[in-house]
A and B are shown apart, each in its own frame.
Chain A
Amino acid sequence: MDSFELICPAGNPAALRAAVDAGADAVYLGFRDETNARNFPGLNFSREDLAGAVAYAHARGVQVFVAINTYPQAGNLGPWERAADDAARLKADAVILADVGLLAYAARRHPDLRLHLSVQASAANVEAIRLYRDAFGVRRVVLPRVLTVPEIARLNAEIDIETEVFVFGGMCPMAEGRCSLSSYATGLSPNRQGVCSPASHVRYEPRGAALASTLGGFTINLFGEGEQAGYPTLCKGRFLSGDRPAYLFEEPTSLNALELLPELKAAKVRALKIEGRQRGKAYIAAVVAAYRKALDAFAKGQALPMLNLDAVVEGGAQTTGAFKRAWR
C-alpha cells in the first residue's frame, strides 16, 4: 500500500533531530522572525541552524520544508523574499507559503523550488486550489482544519495536486489566515506577526483556587482547581453566555485523527501533518514515534496500535475535530 508521508514539526535543531530520529518523512520549520506563523521567543532556526538541519535530515533520507507562511507587510517585502531565497540556497526541499505575492516571487526566482500552499491560505475549494496550481505551480496544498473527510474526498477527486492534512496537535477552529481574534485583543496576529496570543500579552494569575489566563488584559478563562488548562487563545476562551460560562468556539482539546487513517487514505490524502513547532522536543519525539508506528502498521494492513498520548495533549482531551463534526 502506498504510504502516507509523515510531516513533523521542529522549533529548534534538537527538536528536528528528535523528529528525524523518531521516523519523520519530512520536517517543517521556520526562520527566527515574523516570516512564519510560530514566531515565538527563543524558537526557530537561524540560517546556520537550517544548513545544519538540512544536512542532518538529508543524510537520513528526510526532507525539510521551510514555512514562510505569514503575510508580508506593505512596503517591507524584504524579510519574506530573503527567507524564500535562503530556503532555496540552503537546499530546503519545499517552502510552505500563503501570500500570493510571495508565491509569485518564489515561482519566478526559484522555479526548481517546490511550493506548498500553507494552511494559512485557507484554500478549501476546488477553484482556489486550481488557481494556486495554475498561477504559481503549487504542488501541494495543506488543507484548513475545517473540512470533513467526505469534503476532502470530493476535493481530491477534482484536483490533481497533493493534499496534506493535520492529524495531530493544537486545533485551530477558525478560517486560518483570516482570523483576527488575537489581533483584536493584542494588536498582533498569526497572519502578520506570526504570533497567535503572543506570550508578551499573556498573563496567568491565581484567583482564589482558580487559575486565570488573561490576554491583552482580557480574562479569557478561569481553570478550577485540578482542571486541565489550555492555550490562552480567544478561540478557546470560556465566556459567559447568559449566566453560564462556556466554550463558545472550541474547547481546550487536541486533534487526533489516528482512527481516521483508512478514511483519509480512501480520500486520497497524500501527507499527514503533526502540529506543534512550539512544543518541546519530548512532545515531538513521543508523537512522531507513535504516529510512525501507527503508519507502519497501517501500511502493512495490521490493526492500528493504541497510542497513549494523553499526557501531551491540550486540556487532556482529544478530538477528531472537523473531520467528523456531525453538526456540519
Chain B
Amino acid sequence: MRDPGIALDEAAPDTRARAVEVRLTQMGLGLARRFGDGVGGRLADRVLRVLSDRHPRAFTALRDMPEAHLLIDPVDAPAAVLLRVGPRLALRVCDRDGPAHVAVDAAVRGPCARLLDLLEGRIDGDALFFRRELVIEGDTALILALRNTLDGEDMDLFADMATAAGPLRHALPLARRHAGRMLDLLGIARRAAPPPLRWGMVALERRLGGKPQGS
C-alpha cells in the first residue's frame, strides 16, 4: 500500500494496478530462479541493459563504484536479487540467502512492494527504516550509495521495461488504468469456475510464484 501523502506521480499505477505489478515481480523472480543461470541470467541481463539505457546517469555512477555485492531480498518473494556494482555491473536472481560462492557485502530486506517503491523513489528509504519495514545488514555506505543513486532517477520499472517491448509499450498505461476492472473480472471468472479448475488456477499461481504448496 502506498503511504498517504507520499505518492509522487499522479500518473503512477493506482493501488490495485500496483498490487498486480508487485505480484508479477514476485512471479518473475520465481520463474527466473527456476530457469537457472542460463535463461534467468539472460533475463536479468536484459533488465539491467534496459534500465541502464533508460537511466544512464545512475548506472554510470553504479559502474564507477568499487566492486561490491549487494543482496536485495524481497522477503515475500521466492527469490532475491544479487547486484554487483562496479565496472563489471551485473544482476542475478539468487536464493534469498545469497549465492553460496559470492561474499555478500550488504543486504537489504523488506516486502517486495516496499522495495519496488524504493527502487522507483516513490517512498523515502529513511522513513521505511525508521518504521522497521526495511532491514539492512553489512556495508551501510554501499546501501546508502545505491539508494541515493537510484533515488536521483525518475525510474518506473514496468514503464521502463515496456519501452523495450516495441508497440506493446502502449498497452501499459491502458493496463494500469483498467487494472482494477480487470482484477474484478478475473475474480468473477475464478469464482464462477468449477472447483477443479479453480484449484488448478491457485496451484499454478503458487508454482509460478515459487511458494510451497499449502503456504
Contact = CB atoms under 8 A, between A and B. Distances in A.
Interface of A: 11-15, 18, 40-43, 198-200, 202-205, 211, 223, 226-231, 252, 278-283, 285-286, 289-290, 308-309, 311-316
A41 B152 CA distance: 12
A228 B6 contact: no
A230 B8 CA distance: 24
Contact of B146 (A42, A308, A313, A314): A42
Given A15-B151, A229-B129, 9 more contacts: A13-B152, A14-B151, A42-B148, A200-B141, A203-B138, A204-B135, A211-B132, A312-B6, A314-B126
B151 A12 contact: yes
B121 A290 contact: no
A11 B148 contact: yes
Give the dominant DSSP class at A's interface. mixed
Contact of B132 (A205, A229, A283): A229
Interface string B1-40: 0011110100000000000000000000000000000000
Interface in B61-94: 61
A41 B127 contact: no
Contacts of A290: 5
B124 A279 contact: yes
Contacts of B191: none
Given A199-B141, A228-B130, A279-B124, A14 B4 contact: no
A204 B131 contact: no
B121 A280 contact: yes
Interface in B139-171: 140-149, 151-154
A283 B144 contact: no
5 contacts: A199-B143, A229-B129, A282-B127, A313-B130, A314-B126
Contacts of A289: 5
A14 B141 contact: no
A281 B8 contact: yes
Nearest to B121: A281
Interface residues of B, number: 36
B148 A311 contact: no
A14 B152 contact: yes
B64 to A, nearest CB: 10
A243 B178 CA distance: 59
Contacts of A13: 152
B44 to A, nearest CB: 22
A312 B151 contact: no
Contacts of B61: 42
A314 B5 contact: no
Nearest to B9: A285
B130 A42 contact: no
B209 interface: no
A43 B145 CA distance: 7
B83 to A, nearest CB: 14
A38 to B, nearest CB: 10
Given A14-B152, A200-B141, A281-B151, A315 B123 contact: no
B6 A311 contact: yes
Contacts of B126: 231, 278-280, 283, 312, 314
B48 interface: no
B125 interface: yes
Contacts of B118: 280
B137 interface: yes
A42 B143 CA distance: 10
A131 B136 CA distance: 46
For the complex of A and B, 10 pairs with smallest distance between CB atoms: A42-B148, A12-B152, A41-B145, A283-B124, A42-B145, A199-B141, A280-B124, A42-B149, A200-B141, A202-B140
A312 B152 contact: no
A20 B6 CA distance: 16
Nearest to B144: A199
B143 to A, nearest CB: 8
Contacts of A205: 137
Contacts of B143: 199
B8 A228 contact: no
B176 interface: no
A228 B132 contact: yes
Contact of A199 (B129, B140, B153, B154): B140
Nearest to B62: A42
B71 to A, nearest CB: 15
B144 A228 contact: no
B191 to A, nearest CB: 35
A43 B5 CA distance: 24
B144 to A, nearest CB: 5
Nearest to B142: A41
A198 B141 contact: yes
A228 B122 CA distance: 21
A282 B151 CA distance: 9
